[in-house]
Amino acid sequence: MTPQQGGCLCGRIRYRVSEQPERISFCHCRYCQRGRGAAYAVEAIFPFEHFDLFQGDPKSFAHRSAGSGKIIHAHFCNNCGSGLYYSFERFPGILGIHAGTFDDPNWFDYSADNAKHIFLDSARHDTVIPPGLPTFRQHNARRDGTPIEPEIFTAPQPIRDWSG
């Protein structure tokens, strides 16, 4: 794989990854909505060893997750404010890179095998979930780590019509 690069809006912080993401999370929680300023966050999940921060020094903000009670660290550029990635107390050793910060945000593919939509209970009412992907009303696992069974839609699912 050709390493992929990304960074902040002003260019002071640059990173690269050396492998495909382990998975992709489309997160619709209120924290991600506010933190990204968008309807949801698209996070490409990587182990730390596949991530190289080769320029700059991001700042971080610690937030206690309402869902897990664990700390989420939001890493961002102190100059331009671009959010770059999350690291997680609950999931040590991985980080979720904000997909829009890659130089080419389309370099990786996602499918039912590596992606999921989480926290649909707080998704914007105008969001449409594509068919075939695992979805979850909240997180995909309970606080103790027990997996939750996903719901998979067979057709595009407007959240406004979702009875869950």
Q: Tell me the residue ranges of DSSP E strands in the chain.
A: 4-7, 14-17, 23-27, 41-47, 51-55, 59-64, 71-76, 83-88, 94-98, 115-118, 128-129, 134-135, 151-152, 157-158
pLDDT tens figures, 37-58: 899 999 999 999 999 999 999 9
| Other Cβ atoms closer than 10 A to 122 | 17
Q: How many domains does the chain have?
A: 1
The CATH number given to whatever domain includes residue 10 is: 2.170.150.70
The pLDDT of residue 113 is 95
Contact (CB, 8 A) for 127 and 109: no
The pLDDT of residue 83 is 95
Phi/psi at 77 (5° precision): -80, 125
In Å, what is the CA distance from 118 to each residue of 29, 57, 158?
A: 8, 30, 15
pLDDT tens figures, 71-92: 999 999 999 999 999 999 989 9
How far apart are the two ends of the chain, measured CA to CA in Å? 39
Measure the CA–CA gap between 141 and 143, rounded to whole angstroms: 7
Structure tokens at 59: 């700042």
Parent domain of 80: 4-161
The pLDDT of residue 35 is 87
Q: What is the pLDDT along the chain (164 residues), one digit of tens a residue?
A: 799 999 999 999 999 999 999 999 999 999 899 988 899 999 999 999 999 999 999 999 999 987 778 899 999 999 999 999 999 998 999 999 999 999 999 999 999 999 999 999 999 999 999 999 999 999 888 888 899 999 999 999 998 876 55
CB-facing half-sphere around the CA of 91: CA atoms within 13 A: 16
The pLDDT of residue 65 is 85
pTM above 0.85, yes or no: yes
